[in-house]
Amino acid sequence: MRTVETVSLHLDPAAVAAAKHATAAPPGPRPAVDAGPWQAADTACEQLDAPLAVLDLQNLSRNAGALLRRASGTPIRVASKSVRSRAVLRAVLAQDGFSGILAYTLPEALWLAEEFDDVLLGYPSTDAAAVRTLAADDQLRSRVTLMIDSVEHLTWLESVLDATPHSTSEIPVRLAMELDVSWQPRVGQQTLAHIGVRRSPVRTPKDAVQLARNIAGRTRNGKPRFVLVGMMAYEAQIAGLADRPLNMARGAAISAIQRRSKADVTARRQAVVAALREVTPLEFINGGGTGSLEFTHSDSSVTELAAGSGLFGPTVFDFYSHFRPAPAIGFALPVVRRPAADTVTVLGGGWIASGPPGTDRSPTPVYPAGLSLIPTEGAGEVQTPLVGDAAKTLSIGSKVWFRHAKSGEVCEHVNDLVVLSGAEVLGSVPTYRGEGKAFI
Ligand SMILES: Cc1ncc(COP(=O)(O)O)c(C=O)c1O
């Protein structure tokens, strides 16, 4: 296999600026796949063996610019789970308007903090060894913020710190609190539904203030052990639910839910932030995700947004009504068999997105056009059959190109991303996996 030289990645400033200043227009109906870029990728990668994954620099740059436009000046913290490549994080964070990382595991956060100075861990950790590493290093203590949402977790953290022999530092461990902003419509005392994710038990100003006071009350030798520096409130039911799915009735129901839920999220987030600010100064209030930037930045209590998956433009975003990122990432699998004239089997499988199982989690074959997964096998384990007239145009060794349903998960399958600019191979950048890192 011809190898591709590792390069340092830089976004195209002109493409970022053009997308940032473009006039916002809602995307039209879901377009047919534009074969052009995939054909260009196929030509560019002719000498490279598949399986491989590509990252299109122009589309990545455009997507970064579009996120900045939609954020309207509110800084964006990059959700690393949706990227999983340090080179890409570096390139995006070099742009004004992106600031800080929202990491997904503590070992990952510690690794990233060797290079990046503001890493918020978006999810609670019970990795005692990693907490000890954090506790023993003043630079890590000042760069990494842990997420908590309960007294139980706080007590666990304190017990790990107590058992850390070298933790004599007086720099308090930085904490952020997660507020649950799922929507729970009620009639009287009865909760009718839970719409959103199930994460934090902190829902009200009272819950938040109680936890903040508990944090402040934990001292060692008269010095605060922790400092609450931020709050995060991620409205998954708005950011993460496509409002224009193929089923129109479902789309109408989701849009209605999102309208109602937005009022609740804004009111509750603002009330909790106001109550918390009475008891402690806060550096940041984080909210939102790629799917909700316009809404979240309009909440004046929010000081920063989170986004990641809009950089790569996976297929989930083909079903949103208010924005449409360009497909910046794709992968190619080689044809290895032909079980029938209209069927080919490619080597490689899985590449299924996380979340509730369904066909919308499957990868989508995009080039050559007109191939489909087979319902009985789907995206197979190590090989995947594809059916359609286009199979007749393929030979053993040809590549079939796919888009993934989600974003950073692509990087768990490959050691590097081949960086393309149209039909030109610019080089490659390592993924977390290519750097020997599997965090989750
Ligand atoms: C806490 C948090 N913030 C933001 C996001 C949005 O990330 P993205 O923009 O990559 O969809 C997520 C996604 O699950 C999340 O868990």
Read off the pLDDT band of 25 (50, 70, 90). confident
Read off the pLDDT band of 167 (50, 70, 90). low
- pLDDT above 90 covers what percent of the chain? 87
Find out whether 179 and 148 touch, Cβ atoms under 8 Å. no
Q: Is the pLDDT of residue 42 over 60?
A: yes
Q: Say what the pLDDT of residue 166 is.
A: 63
Q: Which atom of ligand 1 is nearest to the CA of 232?
A: 1
Q: Which of 188-192, 385-389, 420-424 is most confident?
A: 385-389
Q: Say what the pLDDT of residue 246 is.
A: 87
Q: Say what the pLDDT of residue 186 is.
A: 87
Q: Which atom of ligand 1 is nearest to the CA of 178?
A: 1
Please compute the mean of the pLDDT values over residues 315-341 and round it to a whole number.
95
The domain ranges of the chain are: 13-22+32-57+324-434, 122-307
Cis peptide before 51 (omega within 30 of 0): yes
Mutate which of 92, 102, 178 for ligand 1? The one with the most ligand atoms within 8 Å of its CB, which is: 102
Average pLDDT for the chain: 95
Q: Could you tell me the end-to-end alpha-carbon distance of the chain, in angstroms, rounded to an integer?
A: 30
Read off the pLDDT band of 76 (50, 70, 90). very high
Read off the pLDDT band of 168 (50, 70, 90). low
Dist. CA 307 → ligand 1 center (Å): 6
Q: Say what the pLDDT of residue 215 is.
A: 98
Read off the pLDDT band of 135 (50, 70, 90). very high
Q: What is the DSSP string of 87-103?
A: HHHHHHHTSTTEEEEEE
Q: Is the pLDDT of residue 24 over 90?
A: no
Dist. CA 89 → ligand 1 center (Å): 15
- pLDDT above 70 covers what percent of the chain? 98
Q: Say what the pLDDT of residue 221 is.
A: 87
Q: Which CATH class is domain 13-22+32-57+324-434?
A: mainly beta
Residue 122 Cβ inside 6 Å of ligand 1? The answer reads yes
Amino acid at 135: A
CA distance 155 to 371: 54
Quickly tell me which residue has 């209209």 as its tokens: 342
Dist. CA 422 → ligand 1 center (Å): 29
Please compute the mean of the pLDDT values over residues 416-429 and round it to a whole number.
96
Residue 234 Cβ inside 6 Å of ligand 1? The answer reads yes
In sequence order, what are the beta bridge partners of 175? 146, 228
Dist. CA 313 → ligand 1 center (Å): 14
Dist. CA 198 → ligand 1 center (Å): 14
| Phi/psi-derived region of residue 304, left when phi > 0, alpha when psi is between -120 and 50, beta in every other case | beta
Dist. CA 47 → ligand 1 center (Å): 36
User: pTM value?
Assistant: 0.96
Please compute the mean of the pLDDT values over residues 354-370 and round it to a whole number.
94
Please compute the mean of the pLDDT values over residues 226-233 and round it to a whole number.
98
Residue 313 Cβ inside 6 Å of ligand 1? The answer reads no
Dist. CA 171 → ligand 1 center (Å): 29
Burial zone of 138 (CB within 10 Å; 0-12 exposed, 13-18 middle, 19+ buried): exposed
Q: Is the pLDDT of residue 247 over 70?
A: yes
Q: Say what the pLDDT of residue 164 is.
A: 80
CA distance 310 to 156: 35
CATH number attached to the domain at 122-307: 3.20.20.10
Higher pLDDT, 246 or 279: 279
Residue 365, phi then psi, degrees to nearest 5: -70, 130
Find out whether 192 and 186 touch, Cβ atoms under 8 Å. yes
Q: Say what the pLDDT of residue 422 is.
A: 86
Structural tokens at position 395: 């030979």
From residue 134, alpha-carbon distances to 77, 170, 211, 232, 424 in Å are 21, 13, 22, 21, 42
9-23, 53-67, 75-89, 243-257, range with the lowest pLDDT: 243-257
From residue 125, alpha-carbon distances to 131, 132, 230 in Å are 8, 12, 17
Mutate which of 89, 290, 312, 319 for ligand 1? The one with the most ligand atoms within 8 Å of its CB, which is: 290
Q: Which atom of ligand 1 is nearest to the CA of 290?
A: 9
Dist. CA 305 → ligand 1 center (Å): 10
Dist. CA 388 → ligand 1 center (Å): 36
Read off the pLDDT band of 1 (50, 70, 90). low
Please compute the mean of the pLDDT values over residues 55-66 and round it to a whole number.
98
Q: Is 15 helix (H, G, I), strand (E, B) or coil?
A: helix
Q: Which atom of ligand 1 is nearest to the CA of 288?
A: 4
Read off the pLDDT band of 2 (50, 70, 90). low
Read off the pLDDT band of 50 (50, 70, 90). very high
CA distance 396 to 399: 9
Q: Which atom of ligand 1 is nearest to the CA of 81?
A: 10
Please compute the mean of the pLDDT values over residues 387-395 and round it to a whole number.
97
Residue 296 Cβ inside 6 Å of ligand 1? The answer reads no
Q: Say what the pLDDT of residue 44 is.
A: 96
Please compute the mean of the pLDDT values over residues 44-66 and round it to a whole number.
97
